Chains A and B, each alone.
Chain A
Amino acid sequence: MSGVPGAIAFCWARAQPDKIDEADLANDPIHQFQISKILPLEAMGLDISFTNSSLFMVATVGVSAAFLIMTTSGRGLIPSRLQSISEMCYEFVADLLRSSAGSEGMKFFPLVFSLFVFILMANLFGMFPYFFTVTSHIIVTAALALLVIGLVLVYGFWKNGLGFLKLFVPSGVPAVLIPLIVAIEVMSFISRPISLSVRLFANVLAGHITLKVFAGFIPMLSKIGFVGVVGAILPLGFTVALTALEFLVAFLQAYVFAILTCMYLNDAIHPSH
């Protein structure tokens, strides 16, 4: 399990009462999400500072791009271990897209693959102790979700014209019920970017806070003496288990985001119900 070394490092970092000022830092589970400016910039009255969030976004893109380029540069007929990781990634997303949006959907493969890899890498980066988690901020996930929904709208209208509006009118509905059904369908469509962004952000945020709270119990308990140290084994165990769960969530949220992107793109490609 790749989760265990990370968990140990995490717990170790949290369990050093002399290293961290436990009064404010160790027991403040929100502190890890604070944005700090690394390079203050301002253009046309807008604050476009290079923050720790920007730094980790650049790192996410850089590391994933470098990994993919370097591992596939060998172009081995029989892939090396690292090359087969890249190829598995490709196959996974390609199968996902092909099975939910058909072969026509493959023209969106670069987008879906980039989204999947970006979210996955950002989530995994967030699992390092003291790293910033990009996807724990709703502005980032909302931007990604709006990109997807915007593309669905633009491509849907461009490809199908007004026929795209058939998406909101299920066939075989009595005429009396059509206004009501259309209202419900439109609301259901509007809720898509919200559920897409909130799910990713909330899962990552809640997971990291839970992890931090449980890890924070360890120094708190161990301060009260021998009984406390023995008692601290329980939250330590929880922290290890939660770290494993967080790795699962990191992958799952990227997977769910990618598969829903595929399904929404499928609506744009084949709008009629």
Chain B
Amino acid sequence: MPPNDPSKSRESMPEKDDRRGDSDDSSLDERLQRLKSKLDNSQLAAKTATNGPDNAEKSKGAAGVGQAFRLSSEFIAGVVVGAGIGYLVDTFFGTSPWGLIVFLLLGFAAAVLNVMRAAGMVAESQMRLKPAHDMDKSPQDGEIDDPAEK
């Protein structure tokens, strides 16, 4: 847990002592609900706090290298898959060389799509409406997803 954990638990300690008397489920539920919302708020606050300039700087370092590894391997994998499927189609249906030609081209297209998607240049159609691009696949609930996180 983050450094703010001890303070949070200290806060909740007296409540626990107060409520030791009535141990019915409804008050426990209520208390759980309240603690949950408090936790959510603190998580939200922590998230907005880390989205400052230092997070952007961090993403240039380690995550940038990770991104670079990702882009190259996505591209190679796409082409290799295309060539592999083309070769299999050719050997099974005897269509040589057309299967290889068609699927290699398709694989190349898929590879370019992979790379552009990984780079955040091509978002999913739903996400194209949003000005801020993010590199991952668009989830339905946009507010959970946080583009600056990576």
Contacts and interface: CB of A to CB of B under 8 A. Distances in A.
Interface stretch (A6-14, A28-36, A194-202): A194-202
Interface in A226-273: 248, 251-253, 255-256, 259-260, 263, 266-267, 269-270, 272-273
Interface of A: 77-79, 87, 91, 95, 98-103, 170-173, 183-185, 187-188, 190-192, 194-195, 198-199, 202-203, 248, 251-253, 255-256, 259-260, 263, 266-267, 269-270, 272-273
Interface string B11-24: 00000000000000
A187 B85 contact: yes
B2 A91 contact: yes
B144 A191 contact: no
B110 A100 contact: no
Contact of A77 (B2, B6, B80, B103): B6
B66 A255 contact: yes
Interface of B: 1-2, 5-6, 9, 62-63, 65-66, 69-70, 73-74, 76-78, 80-82, 85, 103, 106-107, 109-111, 113-114, 117, 124-126, 136-141, 144-146, 149-150
B107 to A, nearest CB: 6
A247 to B, nearest CB: 12
- Grouping DSSP codes into helix (H, G, I), strand (E, B) and loop, the A interface class, with mixed when no group exceeds half, is helix
A226 to B, nearest CB: 39
A252 B106 CA distance: 30
Given A256-B70, A266-B136, A248 B81 contact: no
Given A99-B149, A170-B125, A252-B62, A191 B69 contact: no
Nearest to B139: A270
28 contacts: A77-B6, A79-B1, A95-B149, A99-B146, A100-B136, A100-B139, A100-B149, A102-B141, A103-B144, A170-B124, A171-B125, A172-B125, A187-B78, A187-B85, A187-B106, A187-B107, A187-B109, A188-B113, A191-B77, A194-B80, A194-B81, A195-B74, A195-B77, A248-B65, A256-B66, A259-B66, A267-B137, A270-B139
